[in-house]
Amino acid sequence: MNTQATPSPQFYLTAPAACPYLPGEMERKVFTHLVGQRATEMNDLLTQGGFRRSQNIAYRPACEGCRACVSVRILANEFVPNRTMRKLIAVNGDLVGTMLPAQPSTEQFALFRRYLDDRHPRGGMSDMSALDYAIMVEDTHVNTRLIEYRKRVPGAGLGDQPKGELVGVALTDLMSDGLSMVYSFFNPKLDRRSLGTFMILDHIARTHQMGLPHVYLGYWVRGSAKMHYKTRYQPQEHLTPRGWERYSEADDSEG
């Protein structure tokens, strides 16, 4: 009989650094490594506890004087798209989303670079190379997939492998209670399609079809305009000191 205890994860704390979301604030993170046979199970537990994954690292904010970062998850089984969202789904009716193994391609990287150069030219990922992108996709010990969004080729059957133009990609973790959107990027010139919103809506639909309850969106940052979009998808829950609680914009007492 093996009585050896299962090793517990070791947690570490980063040094203070400038916050990328709130001017004048400093951020710190607590993190651990997601490796070994229990990595998928640990990723589930940590994500449900407010952590996010980046490659084989799980992290969450541990800022000393700020609690603006709040974990968000959409209740997929209760979600009903509003009129604007339904119109957007119709606009993108010619797209096919295909879930694939987490394997990078030169086509994906070209789209990734196009997205970064247009949307985040001075961001922390702006100098990523093809090797960096491959590591971002492949360096994982958890149940990860890529979802490619392509234009449907005229005349192609529903069961055919899509071969049309690649317009968006989502790196997504499959979890016991839903999908966690790790990172997504898209053709920045296709403004009419609002591909960032469409990919979230598609993940909600996929999660509902899988019979699972949650889509994890990462952190909503109170006071950050560029994070406000995450509160559009109702109903949703926010992780509070009391656990996961339903949230609506009317509940926000900011200011």
- pLDDT tens track for 14-50: 999 999 889 989 999 999 999 988 999 999 999 999 9
105 and 43 within one domain: no
State how far the alpha carbon of 78 is from the alpha carbons of 9, 13, 72, in Å. Answer: 34, 37, 15
For residue 212, the enclosing domain spans 73-251
Task: Return the pLDDT at 2.
Answer: 46
At 62-93, the pLDDT tens digits run 998 899 999 999 999 999 999 999 999 999 99
Q: Are residues 62 and 99 in the same domain?
A: no
Q: 252: pLDDT confidence band, cut at 50, 70 and 90? A: low
The pLDDT of residue 149 is 97
| Distance in angstroms (rounded) separating the CA atoms of residues 74 and 235 | 6
Could you tell me which residue, 203 or 122, shows the higher pLDDT? 203
Please state, rounded to an integer, the average pLDDT across all residues of the chain. Answer: 90
Band of residue 161 on the pLDDT scale cut at 50, 70, 90: low
Task: Let me know if residue 6 belongs to a domain.
Answer: no
SS3 assignment for the chain? CCCCCCCCCCCEECCCEECCCCCCCEECEEEEECCCCCHHHHHHHHHHCCCEEECCEEEEECCCCCCCEEEEEEEHHHCCCCHHHHHHHHHCCCEEEEEEECCCCHHHHHHHHHHHHHHCCCCCCCCCCHHHHHHHHHCCCCCEEEEEEEECCCCCCCCCCCCCCEEEEEEEEEECCEEEEEEEEECCCCHHHCHHHHHHHHHHHHHHHCCCCEEEEEEEECCCHHHHHHHHCCCEEEEECCEEEEECHHHCCCC
Question: How would residue 54 be classed by pLDDT, with cut points 50, 70 and 90?
Answer: very high
Together in a domain, 92 and 170: yes
In a domain, 1, yes or no: no
58 or 163: whose pLDDT is higher?
Answer: 58
Residue 4's pLDDT band (boundaries 50, 70, 90)? very low
pLDDT in tens, 125-139: 878 999 999 999 999
User: Is residue 5 assigned to a domain?
Assistant: no
Largest CA distance in the chain: 62
% of the chain exceeding 90 in pLDDT: 78
C-alpha to C-alpha distance for 56 and 64, rounded to whole angstroms:
25
What integer pLDDT is reported at residue 120 of this predicted model?
Answer: 82
Report the number of distinct structural domains present in the chain: 2
Q: Which of 21, 45, 67 is the last residue of a domain?
A: 67
Q: Which residues contact 192 (CB under 8 A, 6 or more apart)?
A: 91
